[in-house]
Amino acid sequence: MSRIGKQPIPMPDAVKVAVNARSVQVEGPKGKLNWEVPVGIRVDVDAAEKMIKVARADDTRQQKAFHGLSRALIANMVKGVAEGYEQKMEVFGAGYGVKLQGKELSLTVGTATPAKLTVPSGVEVNIETPNARGNDEPARLTLTGPDKQQLFEFAARIKRVRPPEPYHGKGIRYAGEHIRRKVGKAFSSGGAA
């Protein structure tokens, strides 16, 4: 038995779960999500106990893998529509900044033209500090949304625009992320004979 897959998923009061054939729909205060369950995986909703149970058809290697995966994804969906997910990001560097224009996020990160990324539907961008002040005070933004995969995938796309460099720490990083710094070249004052 899968250690993750056999654990029932608790259902908060504000969350509604419906299973139609292989489709699972989860609805809550933060939004609505649906997911197609793999073949051989069964999802049962126990409304009396407020629990969701995931079971598999047989003990093949692939069914065991899908069992734990399905349980984890459905638990993420329940948490997402009930509480939502959040990712804070920071942009370090003199002259660096972020700007939101409609559904387009504009990142000024030391290139000739600002990088523009389309914000996926379901993800909200909140900019606390639009411009960085040197390498000490970063520009800050927060991403929120109910879909964990979509949210963190978009955060990774933002970071890929300008990953932090190891000498001065300039670039885009997750809040609280530690960047290993390198020491720059040391110049000696002695001249060659």
Q: Which residue has the higher pLDDT, 25 or 47?
A: 25
Of 19-23, 45-49, 134-138, 148-152, where does the model show the most confidence? 148-152
- pLDDT above 70 coverage of the chain, percent: 96
**Per-residue model confidence as pLDDT tens digits over 94-123:** 899 999 999 999 999 988 999 999 999 999
- Identify the bridge partners of residue 27 per DSSP, sorted by sequence position: 16, 32
| Two tokens, residue 150 | 């979509």
Residues 45, 96 within the same domain: no
**How many domains are there within the chain?**
2
In a domain, 47, yes or no: yes
Residues 157, 77 within the same domain: no
| Two tokens, residue 24 | 């699972």
Residues 41, 102 within the same domain: no
CA dist., res. 121 & res. 185, Å (int)? 46
How many other CB atoms are there within 10 angstroms of residue 77's CB atom? Answer: 28
| Structural domain for 133, as ranges | 85-174
Q: What is the 3-state secondary structure (H, E, C) of the chain?
A: CCCCCCCCEECCCCCEEEEECCEEEEEECCEEEEEECCCCEEEEEECCCCEEEEEECCCCHHHHHHHHHHHHHHHHHHHHHHCCEEEEEEEECCCCEEEEECCEEEEECCCCCCEEEECCCCCEEEEEECECECCCECEEEEEEECCHHHHHHHHHHHHHHCCCCCCCCCEEEECCCCCCCCCCCCCCCCCCC
**Per-residue model confidence as pLDDT tens digits over 80-92:** 999 999 999 999 9
Which CATH number do you get for residue 119?
Answer: 3.90.930.12
